[in-house]
Structure formats: structure tokens, C-alpha cells
Structure 1
Amino acid sequence: MSRRPPVPGATSDVVIVGGGAAGLSLAHRLAAPGSPTVTLVDAPDGPLRPPERTWCYWDRGTGDFDEAVSASWPRLRVHGTDGRAVTVRPSPLRYRMLRSTDFERLVHSRLDTAPHVRVLRATADAVRNTADGAEVRCTLPDGRTLSLRARQVFDSRPRHALPAARTQLMQHFRGWFVRTATDRFDPGTADLMDFRVPQPRHGLAFGYVLPLAPDRALVEYTEFSRHPLTTGAYEAALAHYSHTVLKLGAFGVESAEQGVIPMTDARFARRTGPAVFRIGTAGGATRPATGYTFAAVQRQSRAVAAALRAGRTDVPPAYGRRALAMDAVLLRALDTGRIDGPDFFTGLFRRVPPHRLLRFLDGDTSPWEECGIGLRTPVWPMLRTAVELPFLSRRPHPAPRTGESPR
């Protein structure tokens, strides 16, 4: 059977490939007046569209996406393996949660009012540089092909393989959206890390609880380790955490989510040619030591949009060199077992002022602040690891089967 003939090509100043957090965020910034013409290529409904995801970040005051925020928390809590809890209030920052469908709905409603932005439902098959820019080859839902030409292409699709790295762990998890028979949650407090769960032989494990109401919450089991678990193993760990640790009593599971986030010191190239750029997780926007991505995507999108409006093309790094160097040391120290992961993270929350700690996790602290934080960590194991790193070779690692980070 012969395929239908291709439809005529289309030209715009910018093509954005992928309608997840990174692609939509950049399109949203470029919807402002004075921006170049934009075509956003978003996958049609079907197997290529990821399931609904949860994105979390901390912010102060009001933000651009407040209409889509499902919940926010002024207090954060960490439980050590000994059962002791530390609760902090990082004012003026609040921890916020977005559901991907709410975010997509909000951004698409804004794109609809921007005459210079077009959303194309199609599958991006190939991206290549050309003599005068770049080209994106797409397949439409009816099977026809389309060639999009642009001066610049920003590609947010997941990489098929991760760059070579000295250390690669995975942050992998499964979460339940639960409803309890009685009120069991404090809607003002989010549990970021609860280490009162059995620890694996390699890496670390913790619970994660985001209350949505006194009787509703997202309850997750997360590991930092080299290999994901089976769904059955996640389910068993979640059941233990919910019943034995949280003592939720009777509850129902309304939905579930599962994912894998790379934690790697690989170097992510943000440019693959004169006119093709990677953004989002594919462009290194995932923080290696934490897995958080959404806030970095916003910083990167604002910077790219400002550069394009000024007639420049620039995709800045999501994190500075100091932050990436510190993350590389931490990942290696965790992977070798030189530091105890639960004690390390619990100690940070116990000893570092919460607002400074969250800025540190966002890569927004000064060298003096970072030195003070470093002195509150296991100094000798970290120094030994820092001295060792330059002598280690980078090698390929398998890419986790995941899309954008849910953090």
C-alpha cells in the first residue's frame, strides 16, 4: 500500500519539538509580544504521549503557573532512620506541586491567544541542520509527512542514550494517590524524605508524602540506586510504608505514577549543530544530585526567550560549574558507600538554614555559603572523592526508560 503524499512544508522562525514541561515552557515564554514566530510540535494522543506526571518545585510569592498549582506547602519535613523528624519553614519559599495535565491545559489556553504561535499535533521523526537553519521531519496523525523549516530548532525529546559519565545512579519511584478512611495528613507539611523504610544494600531509599487534603495525599517510595525495581517490588514497598510506617489504616488507591530519573555527572551538550539545540532533561536541566528539573526548565526558558527576542541564540547551562562539580562528588560518594545517604541528607536539613539549603539545591548560593554548607557534611570522605574524580574515566551507561523528570 502506498503512503499518502506529503503535505507542503512550513516555515517559522523557531520550531520547538516536544510538548512536555520544557517544550511548553519555552513556547509559553515565546508567546509574549515581540517574540519570533513559533511552531510547537506536540505528539498526538496515543502511545507516544506520556501518562500524567507530577512536577514539584519551590518558589516565592506568586508565579506564572499559580492557576495550575494543585497544592503547596509552607513546611517541609525529613525523618531520619532513627525516627526523629526535623520540620523547617523555608519562608518566603513554598513547595509547589503541578499536575502535567493542568499545566498543559493552562499553557495551551495562553498559546491559543498568541497569533504568532502554532501548535502542530504530529510525531517528530528526525531533526537535522540545513544550510540556512534546520528542518524537522514529522508524521501527521493521518499518516502524511510534513517538513518544517526554521532558523532554530529546540528539541526536548528524551535522549536514546546518555552521555558517558564517571557515575550514574537512578532515582526511581512509584507513587500512589491515596484517600484514607479518616483524616491522616497535615495539609500544611510535605514530607520530602522519610528514611524510616528498609534501606537497600546499595544506595538509599525514602518515602515521600505530599498531602492534598486531610484524607488525600500522594505517597511515594523512592530509591537512589543503580537499577530500578519491578512494579511488584515497588508495590510491596509502598504497602509497607503506608501501613507500617505511616499507619494510614484503611485507604484506597485512586491512581498511581512511576518513573526513573537519571542522576549522572555526564556532560550534556546543549547544541547539536549550528541551529539545533537541546532543552529540558535532554539539555542537562535535571539536577544530578536531586532529580529536580521544573525550576531549572523555567530559568532556561526565560533566558532562551530573552535571547531570541534580542536577536541572539543562546541556551545557557541550567546549573553552574560549581554546582555540577559538587553534585559529581556527592554522586560518587553515594555510589561508593563512603557516605551514609540518609544521614547526609538528614544532617543537611538539621544543620543548614532551610531557605539557604533550598537555594543551594537550586544552585543559587555563593561560594562562601557553599563552603559553610560543605563543612556540615562528612568532610574527609567528600575530600577523598573530590581528589579521586579527575583520575576517573567517563564511560557509557544505559539510559533509563523515562521521559521528562517528574520532579
Structure 2
Amino acid sequence: MEVDLALVGYGGAAALVLAALTRAGVTDLRVAVIDPVPGAKPRTWAYWTGPTDDLDRVLDAQWPGVDLFGPTGRRQRIELSPLRYAMVRSEPVFGLAAEAAERLNARTMVANVERLADDGAGVDVIDDGEATVARARWVLDSRPAKPVTVGRTFWLQHFRGWWVRSAEDLFDPASAVLMDFRTPQPARGVSFGYVLPTGPRTALIEYTEFSPSRLDDAGYDGALRAYVKQLGLDRLVVDEVEDGAIPMTDARFDPRPSARVVRIGTAGGATRPSTGYTFSAMRRQATEIAQLIRSGRDPVPGAAYPRRHLWMDAVALRAWDGGLVSAPEFFERLFLRNPADRVLRFLDGQTTPAEELALMASTPLVPMSRAAAEVGFSSLSRRF
């Protein structure tokens, strides 16, 4: 089968590309979606956005303001205007993708792709039985990939969330808890909880760690039980559980391993190294790819984040991992000493150099300077 575009791996990144193709008005395109497991992968994404958004009609919830709790219990109310915090579950996102796939008459193929053979004119998509399942002019590959360089720091953003409901009103649907650092902190890393209400009796309550390794099931469940108790909530019914892990590293991933293979999603650099945030960058990649295809150009998006942001992320990771700076203190100071929209745009890679200087000035300067020197020395050592 010959196609113009093969999406290898059907996760959120590929689903967003399909939906973006429809928004861009792309119609005359032969598309194949290839994945070893048919169907959508359940997931929840929370992100900040402007007054209007392409996903407004499928949002589960949105909040004009959020709360942040420091490790001492100090509560900081963060009004987000002109932004807002929004949450969408994967089912409606994949629903939009399915509608787009139907309009494009896309082919869905169940196959475990072993390798991509790029000869410069096209790409043979080869399964684990050495059969060519498709030949594509371009491949967008969202499968997990190993970095091409060894990072100074390799952490994970790993988490477990409970979708809960109660028999009485317990939650404020107009407000969410973005970060709650009152959770017990790991010996190496940082932990926090958050609460995303979808109604007065329903919410997603999640425990998250930034640290080098995952917990076992008992560790996550114990942390969640303790956090729910700390919040003073009881008699909650857990309807669903979701968990995951996202890399946080200054190692470099290759977004274009060959002439006609382009990586998207985490493999394509969409994950912010200092936070693990991915969704907004995946959306930007998808929109750019669709616009490029619409205009007849190659579907190769630009970098997800500016190089200077990746350098700042490497410094932050080094400072946290080396115990130079407390991550809860770092985030608390960022929000206390800067406008909320500036912090959130920075975490999305959307700030100017002048804004970034102001953000850096609000962090603990001496230990952050030491971390910057260590990152710089490490870079020079590798180069020479």
C-alpha cells in the first residue's frame, strides 16, 4: 500500500495531527495509521490556554484560577486571566481524530513496526515479520525513542491519579489545585498533589513525583491515600485509575532520524525537560505540520522549544538533582514573584528573552549560578 503520510504509533501526538489536518482543510491526502494496538489509549491532559480554543467543545473542565500550596502550607491563589487552565480526556480527542480519519479515508493498520527503511524518495514501513506493510512519502513517528546523547540528568515525571466521586458536594468546580507541595518529599526529587474538579462531587486527584525512578503500586496508592486524608476528604469512591511516566532529561532526542522520517510527541522533543509537560507542544507540532502539508511543503515542524529554554531546563534539573535548590521552593518563588501568565507561558516555551531574565532573577541566584557553571563545564568537557 502506498500513502502520502504514515502515522506510526497512534497516541495523542498522532491523533492531534489527524484533527489538525481537518482544521487546516486538508482533503487530498492518502494517510495510514499504523499501531500494534488498535483503538485509543485512555489519558487525561491538563493545559493552559487562551480565551478560546479548538478543543473547547470537548473539554471536561476549565478553571479561571488555580491554587498553589507551598511545602509550609502557604496557599497562593493564582488568577490566570487572560489564560485559563483546561482539562480534556483522550476519548473525545481521539473522537475528533476518528472524524478526521473518516474524512480523509485514512487506512488503519494493526502492525508492530520493526523498522523504517528510508531511501530518500520514500519510506518502507516494515513489521516484525520483515513484511513491508506500507510505503509512504513521509512518516511521522511517535513511538518512544532513545536519546542520541547521554544527559547529565535523567528523571521522570511519574504519577497516579484517581477519578473520584462523593455522595455530597466536596469540590469547587471553579477552582483547581495546580501544585500542592505539602506531600512528603522523596529523598531525591520532588512530589506534589493536585486536584482537578469536574463538578461539585467529582474530581481527578493525582500524586506526581519528579524523580529518577518510579514507585511500585503500593507506593502510589499509599501516597494518594495519604494525600486524600490530608485534604480532609473521605468516603470517596474511586471510579478509574490512570498513571504514567514521562522523561525529564537534558539528553538530546533526534527529531529527524532520516530524510523522510519525522518524530513527533515526546520522541520529537515535545516534552519540556524541566516539567514533563507535553500536550501544548504536541498541539503546536500538529498544527504546524497540517499547515505545512496544506501549503504543499514538507511536514517538518520547527523545534518545540527555543534552545535557550532547553539550556535553562538543563540548569534547573542539575540544581534539583544535585540538591542545590529545593524544587518546591523554586516553583513557589516563580509564581510568587512573577505574573502567572508569564510563568505559564515560560513553561510552554512562549516567553521572550527579557521575560526570561526576570524569571531567572526570581530564582535562588547563587545555587542556580553554580548549577549553570556545572552544566557549562560539562558541555565543554564533552566537546573537547
TM class by smaller structure? over 0.9
Matched, 1:264 2:249: yes
TM-score by length of 1: 0.88
Q: Quote the residue 2:16 is aligned against.
A: 25
Q: Structure 1 residues 144 and 204, CA, compared in 2 at 3 Å: closer, same or farther?
A: closer
Q: Structure 1 residues 127 and 144, CA, compared in 2 at 3 Å: closer, same or farther?
A: closer
The aligned runs of 1:233-252 (5 Å cut-off) are 233-243=219-229, 245-252=230-237
Q: Structure 1 residues 305 and 190, CA, compared in 2 at 3 Å: closer, same or farther?
A: same
Distance 1:125 1:44 in 2: 11
Alpha-carbon shift at residue 276 of structure 1 (Å): 0.9
Unaligned runs of 5+ in 2: none
2:317 alignment partner, one of 331, 334, 338: 331
Return structure 1 stretches of 4+ with deviation > 6 angstroms: none
Matched residue SS, 2:150: coil
Distance 2:148 2:258 in 1: 18
Contact 1:27/1:40, CA 8 A, preserved across alignment:
no
Distance 1:394 1:159 in 2: 26
Alpha-carbon shift at residue 312 of structure 1 (Å): 2.8
Q: Quote the residue 1:150 is aligned against.
A: 136
Matched, 1:133 2:122: yes
Matched, 1:39 2:24: no
2:89 alignment partner, one of 82, 88, 99: 99
Contact 2:25/2:294, CA 8 A, preserved across alignment:
no
The aligned runs of 1:77-226 (5 Å cut-off) are 77-115=67-105, 117-138=106-127, 146-159=132-145, 163-226=149-212
Matched, 1:359 2:345: yes
Contact 2:60/2:89, CA 8 A, preserved across alignment:
yes
Distance 1:394 1:71 in 2: 47
Matched residue SS, 2:196: strand
Q: Quote the residue 1:368 is aligned against.
A: 354
Provide Cα deviations, 1:57-92, integer angstroms capped at 9, x if missing partner: 111122222222111111111101111110111112
Distance 1:162 1:291 in 2: 19
Q: Which amino acid is the alignment partner of residue 260 of structure 1?
A: A
Residue-pair matches, total: 379
Q: Structure 1 residues 42 and 148, CA, compared in 2 at 3 Å: closer, same or farther?
A: closer
Distance 1:70 1:177 in 2: 13
Contact 2:40/2:91, CA 8 A, preserved across alignment:
no
Provide Cα deviations, 1:358-394, integer angstroms capped at 9, x if missing partner: 1111111111111111111101111111111122269
Provide Cα deviations, 1:343-372, integer angstroms capped at 9, x if missing partner: 111111111111111111111111111111
Distance 1:394 1:286 in 2: 25
Q: Structure 1 residues 331 and 50, CA, compared in 2 at 3 Å: closer, same or farther?
A: farther
Contact 1:165/1:394, CA 8 A, preserved across alignment:
no
Contact 2:49/2:83, CA 8 A, preserved across alignment:
yes
Distance 1:130 1:146 in 2: 14
Provide Cα deviations, 1:221-245, integer angstroms capped at 9, x if missing partner: 11111111111011111101101x1
Distance 2:226 2:279 in 1: 30
Matched residue SS, 1:148: strand
Contact 1:30/1:38, CA 8 A, preserved across alignment:
no
Q: Quote the residue 1:293 is aligned against.
A: 278
What is the alpha-carbon root mean square deviation over aligned residues?
Answer: 2.2
More helix by percentage: 2
Contact 1:93/1:355, CA 8 A, preserved across alignment:
yes
Distance 1:147 1:231 in 2: 38
Provide Cα deviations, 1:150-195, integer angstroms capped at 9, x if missing partner: 2111101112567421111111111111112322211111111101
Matched residue SS, 1:113: helix
Matched, 1:383 2:369: yes
Q: Structure 1 residues 55 and 288, CA, compared in 2 at 3 Å: closer, same or farther?
A: same
Q: Quote the residue 2:63 is aligned against.
A: 73
Distance 2:30 2:183 in 1: 48
Larger RCO (CA within 8 A; separation ≥ 6): 1
Contact 2:265/2:278, CA 8 A, preserved across alignment:
yes
Q: Which amino acid is the alignment partner of residue 176 of structure 1?
A: W
Aligned sequence identity (%): 45
Distance 1:372 1:205 in 2: 26
Q: Which amino acid is the alignment partner of residue 266 of structure 2?
A: T
Unaligned runs of 5+ in 1: 1-9, 396-407
Alpha-carbon shift at residue 56 of structure 1 (Å): 1.5
Contact 2:124/2:132, CA 8 A, preserved across alignment:
no
